[in-house]
Amino acid sequence: MAFWQFTRLKFVYPVILLILFFLDGTLMSALGGYFTHFPFHILPMLTFVWLFFGIQFKVYQDIPFWWYVLLIGVMFDAYYTGIFGTYIIAFLLGTLIMKQLHYWLDERIIAGLLLLLIGIVVYLIITYFAGFIIGIANISLLNFLIYQLVPTVILNVFIGAIFYYPTWSFFQVLN
């Protein structure tokens, strides 16, 4: 394999996806004092933001995107929770809804961020209800919305906004 192939999207996209998967966990640990400052519970969702970029910039058509989503879901469950199912479905459904709604929205950044917002809300709501299935949910829906969903959405949409144009240019270069 020639060196130039390593700079192709097919190679770069999953590698960054994997790095962000670990970065989410280490960020949560390193900045835990801020992210879980009582009563807040904010989640860094860089992996999900990267998947959003994949959809928004139509990269998913050129790579085995859905296999990556599935794999990240399985890894997330194995490594972070130890219980399979929740994050597989959260990642799959979150990205699937973003992809379906992408037809309806235009290419402007604001439409893209709305897409990301909807994706994150779907993702978080799925994880919230999955907690009920195994009886570990110990927070009311209202508190979940105020202290977790809203700040998490704000943080990650903000991250999405900052990296929107750099990522777009990055994909242009790779293509």
Partner 1 sequence: MRRIFSSRSVVVAMVVFLVVVGLITGSNWFAKRTNTPPFLQRFSNDLAGGASRILAAPTNAIGRSANSIGNLLSTFEENKKLKSEVDQFAQDKVRLQTVEEENKSLKQQLKLKATLTDYQTVSAVTISRSPTTWQSQLVIDKGTNSGLKKGMPVLAGSGIIGRISEVNTTNAKVALISDTSDSANRFAITVKGDDGDVNGIVTSFNREKNQLIMGQVTSDNKIKKGDLIQTSGLGGVIPSGLFVGKVASVAKDDYGLTKKIYIEPAADLGNITTVMVAVSKMGDN
Among 124, 153, 157, 171, binds partner 1 (CB under 8 A): 124
Dist CA 137 CA 16 (whole Å): 32
**Which residue reads 């992996």 in tokens?**
47
* Cα→Cα distances 25→18, 21, 29, 143, Å: 12, 7, 6, 23
103 binds partner 1 (CB under 8 A): yes
Q: Which is nearer to partner 1, 33 or 166 (CB)?
A: 33
75 binds partner 1 (CB under 8 A): yes
* Cα→Cα distances 19→22, 23, 52, 73, Å: 5, 6, 16, 14
* Contacts (Cβ under 8 Å, ≥6 apart) of 92: 66, 69, 70, 73
Q: Which is nearer to partner 1, 4 or 103 (CB)?
A: 103
104 binds partner 1 (CB under 8 A): yes
Count Cα neighbours of 145 within 13 Å in the Cβ-side half-sphere: 3
- Please state the separation of Cα 88 from the chain's center in Å: 12
Dist CA 50 CA 47 (whole Å): 5
100 binds partner 1 (CB under 8 A): yes
CB of 166 to partner 1, least distance (A): 19
CB of 49 to partner 1, least distance (A): 12
41 binds partner 1 (CB under 8 A): yes
Q: Write the binding mask 134 to 153 for partner 1: x where contact by CB under 8 A, - elsewhere.
A: xxxxxxx--xx---x-----
Six-digit token pair at 22?
A: 């670990």
Among 11, 63, 70, 80, binds partner 1 (CB under 8 A): 80
Q: How many residues bind partner 1 (CB under 8 A)?
A: 59
67 binds partner 1 (CB under 8 A): no
Q: Which positions touch partner 1 (CB under 8 A)?
A: 18-19, 22-39, 41, 43-45, 75, 77-89, 92, 100-101, 103-104, 124, 127-128, 130-131, 133-140, 143-144, 148
